[in-house]
Chain A
Amino acid sequence: MSDAPLVFAPRPADPPPPSTIGVVGWMRANLFSSVPNAILTFLGIYIFYVVVSAIVNWALVNAVWEAENRRQCLDMVGRSGACWPGVAAWIPNLIYGLYPKDQVWRINTGFLILIAWAVPLWLPRVRSKVAIGLSLVLAYPFLASYFFHGGQQTLVWTALIALGATAFAWTWLTSLAEMRFGLGFGPLVARLFGAADDERARRIGWGALAALYVLTFVIVSQLDFVEVQTRFWGGLFLTLVISGIGIAFSLPAGVVLALGRRSEMPLIRVFCVTFIELFRSVPLITILFMFNTMLPLFLPEGVEVNRLLRAIVAVCLFASAYMAEIVRGGLQAIPKGQYEAAAAMGLGFWQSTSLIILPQALRIMIPSIVGNFIGLFKDTTLVSIIGLFDLLSMSRAVGEDTRWLGLFIEPFFFITLIYFVFCFLMSQYSLNLERRLGEGQRR
């Protein structure tokens, strides 16, 4: 039979030439592809080696780990090695400032509560994440300020602290209930009581919350923390307080200002534009100075605003003005058709803004928002200028201690690491967030 089809037998695949794969291939392609490239590679390696070995020698190899004072360090290694005992002796102050040693547990507990409050936001199957996030931003400050500041409780004060404590308890009860039973805390209690209809279930849910509030109120009123005035606050603790409040305040305030700037009501628009432009065109240092020295002049006689509060207000206003412009940029990137589609389906302004526009805009803006947070975190070092002992000024105080006189570089090195770790984590988290939120929705 002459017309039987030919059989096609595929040839086995050859391996790629060895010079193009593996470590050697990669190095040949990227580091030594030409003579100038090779020279640059060697130069780069050399510079890297010189810098890193100098740092390692100073910070680790030649460093002194045990000494009574700086004199002993200098006698042992001179200036060729770091004198870490000075930093170690000051670590409590670098972290807590002049906060009384026997009260430091309150700061730690306060921050642990913050972390515990935020944990449900990352837990799977927790559905009330928006409510939890809001409760955190709105209610945690009351709880935290009592832990950090303490002092006499008035009735209103106790009520607010109990509100914070209730919100915290609710967060965990509702998270556990949702993870275990797929129901929030209120509905779960209603189920246990066998509520007949929605209306009764809702009433039982609120009743349970009220009971929780009464309980926390009783507990909170038993607490008796001695007052620690803010002039004893300092170090990393103070830095975190200022930047934390600045961050938590500036995002919502920025959104409000940005919306105001686009408002059709002239009065609101003019106010927002003036505010934003004013605060954006003045350096933060100037604003801090203004608030510190001039604010008392405008206030009535006898009204004293705490120095820390003045700094926090200044930082918040400054950060919100910047945030407002970032948010406005994000809002502008959303096509008009999105508003129109929402309006055509009968959504009002607030619904379409909060559910359609902002979620999209905030997603685009994550990198700039986190960039702004990082900037804010580092800018808090400026408060040292108006006499607050943040991390930076605390590190300078080490070298003024008579035992460690002149020890400046080591504490700087140490706080540089602290700043780096915080900023690096923020930036990594933002990259991660961006990747996760963008899944399936890239244009």
Chain B
Amino acid sequence: MSAAIELVGVSKWYGGFQALKGLDLTVAEGERVVVCGPSGSGKSTMIRCINQLERHQKGDIRIHGQALTGEPKRDAPILRETGMVFQSFNLFPHMTVLENCTFALSWVKQMPLAEAEAIAMSHLERVRIPEQAKKYPLQLSGGQQQRVAIARALCMAPRIMLFDEPTSALDPEMIKEVLEVMVELAGTGMTMVVVTHEMGFARTVADRVVFMDQGEIVEQAAPEVFFSAPRYDRTRLFLSQIL
């Protein structure tokens, strides 16, 4: 069985600045990986390379065994297996919550509206905000918006979900409601890669914690090992700062 995500020697430069230095990472199907590390370490860059919001210049990325070519047409069906949730939600403000969710179903999957709405409502129920379906995103709280964003990504039925700091723009009580939804999602066996500083989430949900610094993976381990016995000084310093 092939891995869900495979990065082999992935390098990425912004101009002359190397943001990723030959990353190797394998995520098995159904695995939950939490990525952490100091600001600027390349966490976002890595996750954005996985779904090709940024194109890497060296190395290979394979999703369920299929290599990404960098050619939009050929990669599109492969990338459709990934869904992404952003720090700043990025909901479409000119569409209602329901339209945000049905939009890609109608335009990318060419699904009839009634069917798309049924799917969207089922996912909105899953994130517990079906009653907000007719509102516009900017009328919702941050936590509600992020849950809509999760529902919107789920509508496309991805097998892999990528999260880039989904809770760092939220107030504490809203963080909880979003994390609850993510914990539930983890319970369904979804493959998840989560960039987050919520170490409680990492401890309870993650199968593996990956620590990055300066564009490299410094170390990775199961959470109980990672938090109790980190091997590198850099990891210890980081953990002492955030815990």
- A441 engages B153 (CB within 8 Å): no
Q: Taking A344-B153, A347-B104, A440-B136 as contacts, is the C-beta distance between A338 and B92 under 8 angstroms? A: yes
A386 at the binding interface (Cβ < 8 Å): no
What residues of chain B lie closer than 8 Å to A440, measured between beta carbons? 135-136, 138-139
Q: Which of B118-142 contact A (CB under 8 A)?
A: 135-136, 138-139
A17 lies within 8 A of chain B by Cβ:
no
Complex interface bits, A369-412 against B, C-beta within 8 A gives 1, otherwise 0: 00000000000000000000000000000000000000000000
Residues of B within 8 A of A347 (CB): 104, 107-108
Is B79 touching A337 in the complex (CB atoms < 8 A)? no
Looking at the complex, which one of B88, B93, B104 makes contact with A345 (CB distance below 8 Å)? B104
Asked if B215 CB lies within 8 Å of chain A CBs, one says no
Question: Is A443 at the interface (CB under 8 A from chain B)?
Answer: yes
User: How many residues on the B side are at the interface (Cβ–Cβ under 8 A)?
Assistant: 28
Given A351-B107, A441-B136, A441-B138: A345 and B156 within 8 A (CB)?
Answer: yes
Shortest CB-to-CB span from B136 to chain A, Å, is 5
Tell me if A345 and B152 are in contact (CB < 8 A).
Answer: yes
Partner of B51, one of A335, A342, A344, A351: A344
Q: What's the nearest-Cβ distance from chain B to residue A373, in Å? A: 22
The chain B residue with its CB closest to the CB of A440 is B136
B107 contacts which of A337, A343, A355, A359 (Cβ < 8 Å)?
A355
A360 contacts partner chain B, Cβ-Cβ < 8 Å:
yes
- Say whether, besides A347-B104, A347-B108, A341 and B94 are in contact (CB < 8 Å): no
The contact of B138 among A335, A341, A344, A442, by CB within 8 Å, is A442
Residue from B82, B90, B136 within 8 A of A341 (CB atoms): B90
Minimum distance in angstroms from B195 CB to a CB of chain A: 15
| A342 neighbours in B (Cβ, 8 Å) | 92
Q: With the chains together, A338 CA to B94 CA distance in Å?
A: 11
A346/B156 contact (C-beta < 8 A), A355-B107, A440-B136, A442-B138 known: yes
CB distance from B91 to the nearest CB of A (A): 7
Q: Which of B94, B138, B153 has the most CB of A within 10 A?
A: B94
The verdict on A356 contacting chain B, using a C-beta distance below 8 Å, is yes
Considering residues B76, B91, B103, B135, which has the most beta carbons from chain A within 10 angstroms of its beta carbon?
B103
B135: which A residues are within 8 A, CB to CB? 440
Chain B residue with the shortest CB-CB distance to A355 = B107
Instruction: Flag whether A348 is at the interface (Cβ < 8 A).
Output: yes
Q: Does A227 contact B (CB under 8 A)?
A: no
Ordered by A's residue number, 11 sampled pairs between the chains whose C-beta atoms are within 8 Å are A335-B88, A338-B92, A340-B84, A344-B153, A345-B103, A345-B156, A360-B94, A440-B136, A440-B139, A442-B138, A443-B138
The 8 A-B pairs at the shortest CB distance, nearest first, are namely: A341-B90, A337-B90, A344-B84, A345-B104, A346-B108, A440-B136, A346-B80, A441-B136
New A-B pairs, 5, CB < 8 Å, besides A338-B92, A340-B53, A360-B93: A344-B84, A348-B72, A359-B94, A363-B94, A441-B138
